Amino acid sequence: MTLLVVSAMFGGGVFNIPQNMAQSAALGAILVAWLISGLGIFFLARSFQVLADIRPELTSGIYMYARAGFGKLAGFLIAWGYWLSVAFGNVGYAVLLMDALNYFFPPYFAGGNTWQATLASSAIIWGLCFLVMRGVKGASVLNNIGTVAKFVPVTLFLLVVLYFSFSRDLFTSDFWGNVSDQARQDKPLGGVIDQIKGTMLVTLWMYIGIESAVVMSDRADAATVSRATLLGYFLVTVLFVLVSILPFGVMSQGELAAMAPPSTAAILASLVGAWGEVMINIGVIIALLSSWLVWTLLVAQLPWACARDGTFPKIFAKTNKAGIASFSLVISTAIMQAAVVLVYFSNDAWNLMLSITGVVILPAYIGSAAFLWKVIWSGDYPADAKIGKISALSISLIATGFGLWLVYAAGVQFMLAGAVIYAIGLPVFYWARRSSAGSERAFTGVEALTAIALFLLAAAAVWMLITGQLPQVYSS
C-alpha cells in the first residue's frame, strides 16, 4: 500500500519540478509554497486517516465521504471530477513521457503533442489497459519494481547537486525574486503572494495520489490504509522539496525557468556531462510508466465502486474473470484517448493537463475534509476513536481551509473550465438515478438548482473559450 501511494505521487513530474516552480517563483516563495502545501496536504492525509478509523465501512472513501455527508449528487460530482482528473493526469504522464522519448528520438516527440507522440501515447494507453485487464497482482509487482527503480536517478541527482556543485552564495542570492534576469527575459515575478499562488497548482499536482490508499481501501484494513498514507506522504515530501530547491544552488531562477522538460536532465548534464542527461531521461521513462500503471488501476476503481451503489450507471460495475472493472477501464481509456487528441491541438500540452487535473480534483479533497467536519458537528463522532474529537475538528478545518485556498490560487478561469467538466457529467447522473431509483426523482429540489447553476456556468465558460477570453486555460 505504501509503494502504491508513493508511486501514485512520485511520477515523472518530479523530474521537472525545478523548471515548474522557478517559472512562477523565486526560492523564498517556493519554500513558503511548499510549507503551505506540505502542511495542507498533511492535514488532508490526517483527515483520511481519521475517516478510515471512524467510518471504515466507507471503502473507496474519496467519493463515499461526500455522498454520505452531502447527498447523491454531491457524491456523484466528486466521483466524476476525481475520475476525470485521474484520466487527465494519465494524459499528463503521456506528455512527459513523449518529451523524455524525444531526447532519444528527436524531433519526433517534441512537446509531447506531435502526431508521432499522439500515436505513441495512444498505443501505451491501450497497452496498459490490456495489461491491467489481466489482474491486479501482476500490475502491482511491476509497480513495486518501477517504484524502487525510479528512486535511483533522483537520489543520484540530489547527491551530485548537493555535494559536488552546490553554491551557497548563489542559493541565497535573489531570494525573493527582485533581481532582473535576462535569462527569463526580464519577466516580472510579482509579489510574494502572487509567486506563491503561481506554484499552487504545481504543488497540488505533485501531491495528487495521496488518497490512493483510500481509493483502494476495500483491499486492506483501515490501519494499513492510514499508515501507508502518512508514510507515503513523508517520503515524497522530502524528495519534492529537495529536488525543487537544491537546483537554486547551481543555476539562477531565470535559467531554471527557461529550461525544457525534464529540467533535472538539463541540470545534471551541465554538471556531469551527457551521461547524466541520459540517466535522468531513462529514469523519467521508468517513473512515468510505473505511475501510469498505478493510475490505470485507480482510474477504473472509482466508477466500479460508484456503480455498485447506484451513483454511476450499473454497467460500470461489470468485471472480467480477473476481477478487474473491465467496462469502467475501457471507458476510462477511451476518455484518455480523447484527451490525447485534445492535447494534439494545444500549444502548451503539459500545463493544460496539469491545470485541469488540479482543478477538477479539488472538490474531492474539500468534500472529504468537510465530511469529517460535519460528522463532528452533528455529534456522531465516536467516543472511542483513536484521535480525539477536538484534534479531529482542527484537522478537518485546516484541511478544508487549505482546499479553499487552492480554489482561490487556481483562479476563476480554471474554475470555469472545471464547471464544464462537471456539467458534462450531469446526464450520466440522471441516467444512473433513473436506472437505480425506480420512481424516485433523479434530482431533489436543491440538486436541481445546483445542476442548473452548473449548466449556466459551463455555458458561460464554453462561450469564453470559443471567443478566446480564457487563453490561460486553452489556446490552440
Handedness of CA 428, 432, 433, 434 (dihedral sign): positive
Same domain, 377 and 443: no
Looking at the fold, whether 203 and 352 belong to one and the same domain comes out as: yes
State which of 392, 410, 428 marks the end of a domain: 410
25, 199 in Cβ contact below 8 A? yes
Co-location of 395 and 440 in the same domain:
no
Instruction: Indicate the residue among 394, 410, 426 that finishes a domain.
Output: 410
The pLDDT of residue 217: 64
Q: pLDDT tens for residues 401-442?
A: 998 888 888 777 777 878 888 999 999 998 888 777 665 677
Please indicate, yes or no, whether residues 96 and 141 belong to a single structural domain of this protein.
yes
Whether residue 185 is predicted with pLDDT greater than 50 in this model: the reply is no
pLDDT band at 339 (very low <50, low <70, confident <90, very high): confident
Cβ(166)–Cβ(250) below 8 Å: yes
Check residue 246 and give its pLDDT. Answer: 95
Q: How far is CA 313 from the centre of its chain?
A: 25
Greater confidence, 137 or 274?
274
Considering the domain architecture, whether residues 231 and 104 belong to the same structural domain is answered as: yes
Last residue of a domain, one of 364, 380, 410: 410
Range of the domain at 94: 2-410
pLDDT tens-digit series, residues 39-56 = 999 998 888 888 888 888
**Mean pLDDT, residues 163-181 taken together:** 80
Q: Does residue 476 carry a pLDDT above 60? A: no
> What span, in angstroms and rounded, lies between the C-alpha atoms of 319 and 325?
4
The whole-number average pLDDT for the span 263-278 is 91
With beta carbons less than 8 A apart as the criterion, state whether 220 and 1 touch: yes
Indicate the number of domains in the chain: 2
The 10 Å Cβ neighbour count of residue 383 is: 6
Cis ω for the linkage preceding 262 (within 30 of 0): yes
Q: What is the per-residue pLDDT across 90-135, written as a single tens digit (0 to 9) for each?
A: 887 888 888 888 889 888 888 777 899 999 999 999 998 988 888 7
Indicate if 403 and 440 belong to the same structural domain.
Answer: no
Question: What's the average model confidence in pLDDT over 234-238?
Answer: 91
Task: With beta carbons less than 8 A apart as the criterion, state whether 293 and 139 touch.
Answer: yes
Compute the distance between CA of residue 404 and CA of residue 410 in angstroms, rounded to an integer: 10
Highest-confidence segment of 28-42, 126-140, 248-262: 28-42
Q: Write down the pTM of the prediction.
A: 0.81
Q: What percent of the chain stands above pLDDT 90? A: 24
437 and 319 within one domain: no
C-alpha cell at 310: 447506484
- State residue 186's pLDDT score: 44
> Quick one: 132 and 147 in the same domain?
yes
- Give the C-alpha separation, 204 to 439, whole Å: 41
Based on the domain organization, do 383 and 430 belong to the same domain?
Answer: no
pLDDT at residue 302 in the model: 80
Q: Place 182 in a pLDDT band, splitting at 50, 70 and 90.
A: very low
Quote the strand ranges of 101-224, DSSP E.
none
| Helix (DSSP H) and strand (DSSP E) numbers for the chain | 20, 0
State the helix-helix crossing angle for 326-344 and 349-377, rounded to 10 degrees. 130
Say if residue 210's pLDDT is above 70: yes
| Torsion sign, CA atoms 171, 173, 174, 176 | positive
Q: Pick from 28-37, 183-192, 292-301, 399-408 the range whose average pLDDT is largest.
A: 28-37
Least confident of 152-161, 168-177, 421-430: 168-177
Of the candidates 406, 283, 212, the residue with the CA atom closest to the CA atom of residue 11: 283
Region of poorest pLDDT, from 73-77, 189-193, 414-418: 414-418
Is the backbone of residue 385 left (phi > 0), alpha (psi -120 to 50) or beta? beta
The dihedral formed by the CA atoms of 471, 474, 475 and 476, expressed in degrees to the nearest 10: -170
Determine the distance from the C-alpha atom of residue 330 to the mean position of all C-alpha atoms in its chain, rounded to a whole number.
21
pLDDT tens-digit series, residues 303-323: 888 888 888 888 999 998 888
Residues 26 and 71 in one domain: yes
* In a shared domain, residues 288 and 432: no
Give dist(CA 345, CA 343) in Å, integer. 5
CATH of the domain at 317: 1.20.1740.10
pLDDT for 455 beyond 50: yes
Whether 156 and 303 share a structural domain: yes
Q: Nearest-CA neighbor of 406 among 64, 41, 75?
A: 41
